[in-house]
Amino acid sequence: MKALSLPPRLLMGPGPINCYPRVLQAMSTQLVGQYDPVMTAYMNEVMALYRQVFNTQNTQTLLIDGTSRAGIEAVLVSCLEPGDKVLVPIFGRFGHLLAEIAERADAEVHTIEVPWGEVFDPEQIEQAIRKIRPKVLALVQGDTSTTMLQPLEHIGAICRQYDVLFYSDATASIGGNPFETDAWQLDAVSVGLQKCLGGPSGSAPVTMSDRFVDCVRQRHHVEAGIRDPHHKDASGSRIRSNYFDLPMIMDYWGDERLNHHTEAASMLFCARECAVNLLEEGQQAVIERHKMAGVAMLAGIQAMNLAPFGNLKHKMNNVVGVYIPMGVEGEQIRSEMLNTFNIEIGTSFGPLKGKIWRIGTMGYNARQDAVLHTLQSLETVLRRAGHKLSPGAGVDAAMDVYAKAIA
Amino acid sequence: MKALSLPPRLLMGPGPINCYPRVLQAMSTQLVGQYDPVMTAYMNEVMALYRQVFNTQNTQTLLIDGTSRAGIEAVLVSCLEPGDKVLVPIFGRFGHLLAEIAERADAEVHTIEVPWGEVFDPEQIEQAIRKIRPKVLALVQGDTSTTMLQPLEHIGAICRQYDVLFYSDATASIGGNPFETDAWQLDAVSVGLQKCLGGPSGSAPVTMSDRFVDCVRQRHHVEAGIRDPHHKDASGSRIRSNYFDLPMIMDYWGDERLNHHTEAASMLFCARECAVNLLEEGQQAVIERHKMAGVAMLAGIQAMNLAPFGNLKHKMNNVVGVYIPMGVEGEQIRSEMLNTFNIEIGTSFGPLKGKIWRIGTMGYNARQDAVLHTLQSLETVLRRAGHKLSPGAGVDAAMDVYAKAIA
């Protein structure tokens, strides 16, 4: 068998992106047992680290062993009983995903939509809440399908007013854009590692407020094979998934240490390094680095005679949509970027399929050199494909952004 | 923040165990994009490798991104519609788990049980099938809670005769004991990496027969956000989980490459190395190595005046239950093994809690030196705790097993 061997791609799409080297190294750490005091101490440390990442005091802050949508499903199937009402404002692909997961839980799903490239006003959401009176509001923060960032800071107060549980999936945005679980009064948040946190896909950090925990604890049933004879199950309906049963997962991460799954230790080490990396550099500094890379990339794109997609006022720091210009073949350009320059930029789907590329500047790759290499290579490929541009203008515009920041 | 730093434990419990070094190294590989031709080629290669691991021609052989119970849940929730009958013969903790997951899918769950330490005769299973006429038989191969290995070779023919889908979870046994998906006529199999395959928890290889695929494809619904306008959903009821929807996961791994989750690339690289490691050494050679380590460990245990648990005729090669002798405190011994010798042996739960230790010899640790260090250290700890034994007898008995094999 050939040894594993991968080309040195620079991943400038909407994620996954290149991991921080220390995150990759952490995964090579040899294991200890799942109930080894060293392991449980690291589990506790990871909980504490992600409280900082999420900016929360929530005790229940832990990892779901799966990709980011595993975190989404764990939150939704644990809190939604059949017939429960949920409101999902949709501004891109991942809103559809939240609605679909809630539908499969047999919740009564209500959706409102804005065109791709826009976000919701708090008033629109309040109006829908007042009409529908849902148990849960499920709202994506950053949707890579459209590059938009939904403002969340005024939504929590509305949810409290109408006694609605407020859940957000912040996979695409966390680390590269502000996120304040407690200040914004969120009840549940799920994310992944593979965007601005600079890790691989495969672990989904989740945090839950006490209100949310009270809600899911009403459905607490201990697994038959390990049940204490004196245990009394809660009165709520049993959660339909064993794997995503948050009360059981809390009992595994908590002092009870009741056996559930076997924690994916390598992914836990990796999640730890993602958090440490963010916190050592400083959350604000990392957000600034993402903002700078995003502004520079946007400036470069515009200077190359390319038009950005969507409402730029609400663009995430870490990804930009770029209209594929007339006369060039979008997939051809992507393929040349990949094969000639080892740089990946993203395609699109749904209503934007074939219309825009998506270019990310996330995590480890939210760096000046990564931005500049991408712009230079894109210029070369576009120029040779016949797109009219002023040579050097793109990279110069991006360098100006960085130069001004230093000055 | 302190750097990640773990003690050099020798993990001789029921799993997880120490990973093969090449498996750990693979996880440090830098990523490529999820639809990069290099990535999809590795996904295809992993499918081909696990066909060999499972001894099957099944096209649908892929990874579920989660721990081993994620694989179990994916199989059961994808094939079981509410009200479907499933038969679960239970001979340990993981049988209870299969039953519980099926219950949560609102299947009509029928169980039969044998005492812990025993396995089923094919006749018992046939009798139950004849009576219940289930859609699915769900049967664990190796249950670490009891150390028993359920013989499967005659069960497939019975299932075909009664038109029952035959599913087995072989997480604890695969790699260290024979497993023949096609020869034994299995329809679905799920495993994990963290036992005899010598990897960490976090990826669940699954294989599915064409019969099984036909069954779950009847419930095929494409996700809203990426649905082609011309797509026609299948007529069966929608699978209740998005994350564990096997038809959608097949569309992601197949030529369609329809977006579902973002494949956990680091775990995929790791799963690849687990398979390559097994196949390069040779499946039969690896099974023999496990058998030898298991026989040596058992001989050593018995020579130390300790009694093994259960029906030894049906013991897995890779783990042995050991009655905690009179006069010693089981958890005290485990704690000294861990703290003084950096060796982990396992505790037990359910009806065996406080009665037996479980000592594993799996994957990388199915080695003579690991067996001998464990026996020597256990002797020292037991001797100092007052257990009567003949000094050196345990390690000598194990060394004799290895010496005889060479002669």
The 10s digit of each residue's pLDDT in A187-229 is 999 999 999 999 999 999 999 999 999 999 999 887 776 666 6
Q: Tens digit of pLDDT for each residue in A249-287? A: 999 999 999 989 999 999 999 999 999 999 999 999 999
Predicted interface score ipTM higher than 0.85? yes
A169 touches chain B (CB under 8 A): no
pLDDT over 70 at B229, yes or no: no
Contact yes or no for B31 and A11 at CB 8 A? yes
Substitution target in B101, B203, B241, B344 with the highest count of A β-carbons within 10 Å is B241
Contact yes or no for A349 and B263 at CB 8 A? no
- Record: fold of B19-279: Aspartate Aminotransferase; domain 2 (3.40.640)
> B200 contacts in A (CB within 8 Å)?
31, 264-267
Pairing of strands A85-90, A108-113: parallel
Reported as a pLDDT band with limits 50, 70 and 90, residue A298 is: very high
Contact yes or no for A266 and B27 at CB 8 A? yes
Q: What is the pLDDT of residue A69?
A: 98
> A116 contacts in B (CB within 8 Å)?
none
**Please, what is the average pLDDT of chain B?**
96
Instruction: Select from A396, A383, A320 the least CA-distant residue to A352.
Output: A320
Q: What is the pLDDT of residue A225?
A: 64
> A68 contacts in B (CB within 8 Å)?
261-262
Q: How large is the average pLDDT for residues A62-84?
A: 98
What percent of chain A has pLDDT above 90? 93
> A224 contacts in B (CB within 8 Å)?
96-97, 99-100
Rg (alpha carbons) of chain B, rounded to whole number: 22
pTM of the complete model: 0.97
Contact yes or no for B280 and A1 at CB 8 A? yes
Substitution target in B9, B22, B23, B30 with the highest count of A β-carbons within 10 Å is B30
B96 touches chain A (CB under 8 A): yes
Substitution target in B22, B94, B243 with the highest count of A β-carbons within 10 Å is B243
pLDDT over 70 at B394, yes or no: yes
> B265 contacts in A (CB within 8 Å)?
16, 200-202
A residues 7-26 closer than 8 Å to B (CB): 7-9, 11, 13, 15-19, 24-26
B198 touches chain A (CB under 8 A): no
Contact yes or no for A242 and B77 at CB 8 A? no
Nearest CA of chain B to the CA of A305: how many Å? 27
Tokens of A200: 């691989």
A244 touches chain B (CB under 8 A): yes
pLDDT over 80 at A294, yes or no: yes
Substitution target in A143, A241, A276 with the highest count of B β-carbons within 10 Å is A241
Name the strand (E) or helix (H) holding A344.
strand A343-344
Residues of chain A with CATH 3.40.640.10: 10-279
Nearest CA of chain A to the CA of B206: how many Å? 16
Reported as a pLDDT band with limits 50, 70 and 90, residue B227 is: low
Cβ contact B226:B244 at 8 Å: no
Nearest CA of chain A to the CA of B261: how many Å? 7
Residues of chain B with CATH 3.90.1150.10: 283-406
Contact yes or no for B269 and A25 at CB 8 A? no
Q: What is the residue type of A387?
A: H
Contact yes or no for B31 and A16 at CB 8 A? yes
What percent of chain B has pLDDT above 70? 98
DSSP string of A371-397, one letter each residue? HHHHHHHHHHHHHHTT----TTHHHHH
For residue A12, what is the nearest residue in chain B, using CA coordinates? B33
Residues of chain B with CATH 3.40.640.10: 19-279
pLDDT over 90 at B234, yes or no: no
Tokens of B321: 């239950």
Q: What is the pLDDT of residue B87?
A: 98
Count the neighbouring beta carbons within 10 Å of the beta carbon of residue A359.
30
Q: What is the pLDDT of residue B225?
A: 64
pLDDT over 90 at B223, yes or no: no
pLDDT over 90 at B74, yes or no: yes
Q: What is the pLDDT of residue B5?
A: 95
Superfamily of domain A283-406: Aspartate Aminotransferase, domain 1 (3.90.1150.10)
Strand, helix or coil for residue A71: helix
Contact yes or no for B66 and A66 at CB 8 A? yes
Q: What is the pLDDT of residue B233?
A: 76
For residue A239, what is the nearest residue in chain B, using CA coordinates? B104
Contact yes or no for B344 and A28 at CB 8 A? no
Q: What is the pLDDT of residue A228?
A: 67
Reported as a pLDDT band with limits 50, 70 and 90, residue B294 is: very high
**Please, what is the average pLDDT of chain A?**
96
Q: How large is the average pLDDT for residues B6-15?
A: 97
B335 touches chain A (CB under 8 A): no
Side-chain-facing half-sphere of B343: CA atoms under 13 Å: 25
- Of the candidate CATH numbers 3.30.1490.20, 2.40.160.10, 3.40.640.10, 3.40.50.11540, the domain formed by A10-279 belongs to 3.40.640.10
What percent of chain A has pLDDT above 70? 98
Q: What is the pLDDT of residue A80?
A: 98
Q: What is the pLDDT of residue B349?
A: 87
For residue A64, what is the nearest residue in chain B, using CA coordinates? B66
Instruction: Give CA–CA dist A402/A368, Å, rounded.
Output: 8
Q: What is the pLDDT of residue A236?
A: 83
Instruction: Select from A322, A262, A320, A311 the least CA-distant residue to A293.
Output: A320
Q: Tens digit of pLDDT for each residue in B111-164? A: 999 999 999 999 999 999 999 999 999 999 999 999 999 999 999 999 999 999
Instruction: Select from A85, A115, A90, A91 the least CA-distant residue to A103.
Output: A85
For residue B271, what is the nearest residue in chain A, using CA coordinates? A4
Q: What is the pLDDT of residue A226?
A: 66
Reported as a pLDDT band with limits 50, 70 and 90, residue B221 is: confident
Q: Tens digit of pLDDT for each residue in B319-344? A: 999 999 999 999 999 999 999 999 99
Q: How large is the average pLDDT for residues A345-349?
A: 95
